[in-house]
Structure 1
Amino acid sequence: MDVLTDLLQRSRARGAAFSHSTAHGAWGVRFPAGSKLAIHGILGGEAFAWTDDTGRSRHVLSGDIVLVRGPAEHFMAHVPGADVIPFLGLPSSGPPGGARRMVFGTGSGEPTTFFCGAYTFEGTLCTGLLAGLPDLTVVRSRAGSSLRASLDLFAGELLGDAPGQQALLDSLLDVILVQALRQQLATDVQAAPAWFSAMDDPAVGASLRAVHATPARAWTLADLAAEASLSRATFARRFTALLGVPPLTYVTDWRMALAREQLRDGAAGLAAVARSLGYASEFSFAAAFKRHHGTSPGRWRTAAASPSHAGSVG
């Protein structure tokens, strides 16, 4: 279980491909704020994309993936700073239950074609991952790369109308997202979460996979060092250098992050949460949680459920 997979699965990342657009001549569209992550793929032609009214834009070409960290209003047009109209107000067509097809713009010339999609994430586990992305990211798919192959497959399906189209598009969109995130994080290592680079270390990566596969295990330093095939002292130094925290601190931090998600959901009792994270009893879990957060899990859950506090509870 690698960390990226664990975060996306536990955050129940859900994406939907919702449109295929063909823009002719002069055009410009405004996408509304809302989703935590918007994704656009340039299938043909070129465009400019930006996230604020100043028109500071990125030139995007066929094969590029544009990721917009939200919630943020953003724009796409034939030239930087062009006049824009609301994207959601444009007329559309398409098969029932499938992606919408939209044609707009004025004038002639080579059209720009692109798809649009959006992602939602439950809870806050992916907050750190998304925070490592710029407001607007352009990921360039290289010819012959797996990302380009996925994009080509997606583009072909997008223009069809066979049964099950939307389910297949949503699944392919997940593939494109993971490939794009992987490429972006590898390119911008300084902004990427520490665990991303650490996963490439054979020893530390092995211990991270083990922790994320079985977070409820009663991990000791010796256990983690054994996963890494290193001595305890060597492993501890190497892990801390890469992650910025000692191994057992990482384990506790991850368990507490999982505990917060379960408490935020509100369905599981404290005893069930404790068992799921490997604590011997509700009381030992509550003590660990209070040491970590400075408040009891019950009080934390109440604060998280309050609209006036939900945004500030980490």
Structure 2
Amino acid sequence: MAVRLGLMSETLKGMDVLDDLLAGTRARGGVFNLTIMDPPWALEIVDEAALSLATMVRGSAWVRRDGIDPMLMSPGDVAVFTGPSPYVVGDALDTAAQLRIHPGGVCEPLPGAPVDYSARLGVRTWGGRVEGAAMVASGSYQLAGDVSRRLLTALPSVLVVPAADVAGTVMDMVIDEIQRDAPGQQSVLDRWLDLALITTLRAWFARPESQAPGWYQAQSDPVAGVALRMLHDNPAHPWSVVELADRVGVSRASLARRFTSLVGEAPMTYLTGWRLALAADLLRSTNSTVETVARQVGYANAFALSVAFKRVRGTTPTAHRRSSPLSAPEPAARRDGTHRR
């Protein structure tokens, strides 16, 4: 059995659950900013983005958000923000925000802000002067699919990864790319945001304080990890614990016990959640019928998918499709005199 497990693990080497969850997190028309300011400075971000990244290109900053202790960002560090609640990035804990960033990158100067803090210094670049002491580069995902939500729920509200742990060449690209205005630049920036997210999260999960989720930690296990990969590779297969255990090469009881202990839920419960996450994204991102989506993710027909969807998510596939489109139109330009970044 040990030989069989070894061969199975080697076969699946290099294929992981994080890949699948990140595959559901793709930037589409991400909003990018390069802000240059001098002390005292602070930005209040209320852009309601599902996921954002920021890095200190120059200077250091404190990150403040309700529900967390303030976190310090040094030059080159990368912060990831999850969820739509506002946060403040500034040079000191007591510095009042001078700029407020709204959805779509709209920049609103706040009372007391220097008159030039929202001046355009270049492509996607704003601030008082090019040589300013602090330079913050950021990129935001506007919407997230259900597959990526499984990833987002495993992350804290704010996480900061030190520069030494992040792939430096990825972050070194940000200044040049954000300030470039060339054909296809939005696509280049979107791909940069994806790559920056992947390298940052990989570094974060490797840190002891990350408290990586069960599905991440279980990937290296020769029993639960192999089973987990099988479920992700072929969710439409009519899996049972018996078949899964047989393919892994352990008893049904051993698989159920090991999988539940490491992942945090039973194999079939995990499979149901994964299938419904895939179905939710397909319903929003394609015009496929509910029947087609059902078969793609492992349900016999539309009725079976609807029953599971309603039981777990409290709504029907059709209602889900109507209420939560995967993409949204770009916000219209502001007409109240504030700046769009």
Say if 1:17 and 1:173, in contact at 8 Å, map to a contact too. no
- Secondary structure in 2 aligned to 1:195? helix
Deviations 1:228-256 (A, max 9, x none): 34444433321121122222232223223
> 1:75 maps to what in 2?
88
Q: In 1, Cα distance between the equivalents of 2:236 and 2:302?
A: 14
Deviations 1:152-184 (A, max 9, x none): 233444455555444323212211111212222
How many residue pairs are counted as aligned between the two chains? 295
Say if 2:65 and 2:86, in contact at 8 Å, map to a contact too. yes
- Secondary structure in 2 aligned to 1:125? helix
Confirm whether residue 147 of structure 1 aligns to residue 167 of structure 2: yes
Deviations 1:46-93 (A, max 9, x none): 1222125x9963221111112222212221222212122224131224
Which of 252, 256, 264 aligns to 1:244? It is 264
List alignment gaps of at least 5 residues for structure 2. Answer: 1-14, 101-106, 109-117, 325-341
Q: In 1, Cα distance between the equivalents of 2:16 and 2:204?
A: 17
- Structure 1 residue 124, shift from structure 2 partner: 3.3
Which of 75, 80, 87 aligns to 1:62? It is 75
> 2:65 maps to what in 1?
51
> 1:129 maps to what in 2?
151
Which of 285, 292, 296 aligns to 1:272? It is 292
Confirm whether residue 253 of structure 1 aligns to residue 273 of structure 2: yes
- Secondary structure in 2 aligned to 1:116? strand
RMSD of equivalent CA atoms: 3.4
Which of 111, 119, 124 aligns to 2:133? It is 111
Q: In 2, Cα distance between the equivalents of 1:166 and 1:190?
A: 31
Q: 1:15 to 1:50 in 2, by over 3 A?
A: farther
Say if 1:133 and 1:191, in contact at 8 Å, map to a contact too. no
Say if 1:21 and 1:115, in contact at 8 Å, map to a contact too. yes
Q: 2:93 is aligned with what amino acid? A: P
> 1:41 maps to what in 2?
55
- Secondary structure in 1 aligned to 2:202? helix
Say if 1:150 and 1:172, in contact at 8 Å, map to a contact too. yes
- Larger RCO, structure (CA 8 Å, separation 6 or more): 2
Confirm whether residue 179 of structure 1 aligns to residue 203 of structure 2: no
List alignment gaps of at least 5 residues for structure 1. Answer: 308-314
Q: Percent same amino acid at aligned positions?
A: 32
- Secondary structure in 2 aligned to 1:30? strand
Q: 1:79 is aligned with what amino acid? A: A
TM-score normalized by the length of structure 2: 0.73
Say if 1:203 and 1:228, in contact at 8 Å, map to a contact too. yes
> 1:301 maps to what in 2?
318
- Structure 1 residue 189, shift from structure 2 partner: 6.2
Deviations 1:110-146 (A, max 9, x none): 712220110133443333432333322211121xx55
- Structure 1 residue 304, shift from structure 2 partner: 7.2
Q: 1:102 is aligned with what amino acid? A: W
- Secondary structure in 1 aligned to 2:146? coil
Say if 1:63 and 1:141, in contact at 8 Å, map to a contact too. yes
Which of 1, 4, 7 aligns to 2:21? It is 7
Q: In 2, Cα distance between the equivalents of 1:160 and 1:285?
A: 46
Moved more, 218-227 or 172-181: 218-227
Q: In 1, Cα distance between the equivalents of 2:313 and 2:85?
A: 33
> 2:119 maps to what in 1?
91
Deviations 1:257-281 (A, max 9, x none): 3334445669433321222123334
Q: 1:12 to 1:177 in 2, by over 3 A?
A: closer
Q: In 2, Cα distance between the equivalents of 1:265 and 1:165?
A: 23
Q: 2:260 is aligned with what amino acid? A: T
- Secondary structure in 1 aligned to 2:245? helix
